[in-house]
Amino acid sequence: MGMNVFVTDCAAVTALGSNLEELWQGLMAGKTAIHPVQRFPVLNYRSRFAACIEGLSSAGRSSMTHDLLNRLVPQIRGVPTDAMLITATTKAGIDNLEKFKRGAAADRNDILLSSIPAALSETLALENIGFNISAACASSSIAVARAAALIRNKRADAVLVCCIDLVTEFVFSGFSALGALSARPAMPFDKDRNGLSLGEGAASILLMSETRCRREKRPVLGQLTGWGISGDAFHLTAPARDGGGLIRAIRKALAMAQIGVDEISTICAHGTGTIHNDSMELAAFHSIFGARKPSAYSVKGAIGHTLGAAGGIEVAIGVKSLSEKCIPPTVGLISPEEGARGLVSSQPQKIEGDYLLTTNSGFGGVNAAVILKRGQVS
């Protein structure tokens, strides 16, 4: 007893829903929040689509991160003041850098990655300021893994993970220059996919040790049983074609969870909709699971790629999927590519079993895998 890591609270804000339940209902209905961008001009870019949160704004000198955090924080329940804080963001208030470069008044501190844990620790009246993890699109998956490791190693008994990233013209122009954006809303694992759609959002996951969870009679929404992180260093922006780095991360997670591949009921894939990412993931899944094909899905055709917030949002969705015993459709999927047939679906699917695998990969060759278990206490 005491080595298990329990999920006691989850919250999320995305363009598809102002809370986790709205997001879940939108996903299950097959809706998408990817629409033409109104926030900044897009005529000179490869795409005109993104999943932007309606009405998100910056007040005075502040970044839009403050508005987004103000939407998330009231949903975070039961955080003890002595909880450790780990945040995840790749750009923080990068919109303020845009303001500054254009000569507008802007708080430079909001541009710093450290502004996110500083703001959250003050708002939540936490005893420690925490720290931020920035590891490209695997940032919040790694933050969740780090939090779980702290609990399992008895260095903490409660850790709050919060993740956030924005859609800004700076980010949009960068992905456009890389040729990564799709000219139409993203189509994960489809044979005709041609890029990703950006999105924005924030999420929180409160993790606790079994001992503290039982003592305080906390709800058990799920368990984190295994995680793995790897770096393949294949390319600055492209994934290793054979999926070797992701394979290593998944195998580490399975070994830590002490389960076999046949116990994984479903996969929440990174599934960005780019040609190389989706092919790499499929190669990794086929290497791990062989002829057996667990169901899989991607949410990025519905909420866009939320970058550093993606893993945290997907963990929250994964906990909900296990609780509801079903997974959402892969929005944007019309004709699965050959390797994805029998794996992903454009319709919701029922699932059995207790374990869900979620995967994320990012620039620089970073890969992360997290295994969730259904919420019952064993």
Mean pLDDT by 10 residues, the chain (378 residues): 84 98 98 97 96 93 97 97 98 95 93 96 95 96 98 96 98 96 98 97 98 95 97 72 91 97 97 95 95 93 98 98 98 96 96 96 92 79
Neighbouring residues of 299: CB distance < 8 A, sequence distance ≥ 6: 27, 268, 271, 313, 314, 317, 328, 331
Q: Answer whether 176's CB lies under 8 Å from 170's CB.
A: no
**Tokens 């759609």 -> residue:** 197
Segments making up each domain of the chain, as ranges: 5-215, 224-374
Q: What is the pTM of this model?
A: 0.96
Q: Nearest CA to 352 among 331, 320, 369, 374?
A: 374
Strands (E), the chain: 5-14, 35-36, 49-51, 84-88, 131-133, 158-165, 198-199, 201-209, 222-231, 264-268, 295-297, 326-327, 349-350, 355-362, 366-374
Q: Nearest CA to 150 among 87, 215, 249, 84?
A: 84
Report the C-alpha gap between 360 and 311 in whole angstroms.
6
**314: how many CB neighbours lie within 10 A of its CB?**
31
Q: Per CATH, is 5-215 categorized as 3.40.47.10?
A: yes
Give CATH superfamily name and number for 224-374. Thiolase/Chalcone synthase (3.40.47.10)
Q: Answer whether 143's CB lies under 8 Å from 88's CB.
A: yes
Report the C-alpha gap between 76 and 83 in whole angstroms.
13
> Do 224-374 and 5-215 fall under one CATH topology?
yes
Our measurement of the distance from residue 276's CA atom to the centroid of its chain's CA atoms, rounded to an integer in Å, reads 19
Strand partners, 161: 86, 205
Residue 241's pLDDT is 74
Report the C-alpha gap between 51 and 321 in whole angstroms.
22
Return the biggest CA–CA distance within the chain: 58
Type of residue numbered 118: A
Residue 236's pLDDT is 65
Q: Nearest CA to 113 among 74, 163, 156, 57?
A: 163
Report the C-alpha gap between 252 and 288 in whole angstroms.
12
Active site residues per annotation = 137, 270, 305
197 secondary structure, DSSP code: -
For 29-78, the three-class secondary structure string (H helix, E strand, C coil) is: CCCCCCEECCCCCCCCCCCCEEECCCCCCCCCCCCHHHHHHHHHHHHCCC
Report the C-alpha gap between 51 and 39 in whole angstroms.
11
First to last CA, the chain: 10
**349: how many CB neighbours lie within 10 A of its CB?**
16
| Residue 41 half-sphere exposure toward CB, CA atoms < 13 A | 2
